[in-house]
Structure 1
């Protein structure tokens, strides 16, 4: 039987929400092993001078505990 744990991670990108999600997984995988899935919980953007500045995501990362 597998035991899974979920952590919540916030990340951003100046390119896209997809890139922000990749950034979250890349950063989390530097200290968390056995990542199984990512649930995109929330998306938002910041605005600077009337333009989209940063894409932000709040993701839930599920990983298996050894």
Structure 2
């Protein structure tokens, strides 16, 4: 039986929500092995002068810790 762990990662980007999600996965991948999925739980944006200047996501990253 595989054991799957889920961690929550927050990340930002000045480009897009998609890029922020990729940043979350990239950072998680630096220390976590066997990543199987990523789920975007929440999205938000920072606004200045009626323009979005930063995109943020809260993600859940799932990975296998044993078989």
Q: TM-score, normalised by structure 2?
A: 0.94
Q: Which residue of 2 aligns with 1:20?
A: 20
Q: Which residue of 2 aligns with 1:54?
A: 54
For the aligned residue pairs, the C-alpha RMSD in angstroms reads 0.7
Q: Which residue of 1 aligns with 2:41?
A: 41
* Structure 1 residue ranges, 4+ long, deviating more than 6 angstroms after superposition: none
2:16 corresponds to 1:4: no
Segments of 5+ residues of structure 1 without an aligned counterpart are none
Segments of 5+ residues of structure 2 without an aligned counterpart are none
Q: TM-score, normalised by structure 1?
A: 0.96
Q: Which residue of 1 aligns with 2:65?
A: 65
* Cα distance in 2 between the residues matched to 1:7 and 1:47: 28
Give the count of matched residue pairs: 66
* Cα distance in 2 between the residues matched to 1:13 and 1:23: 8
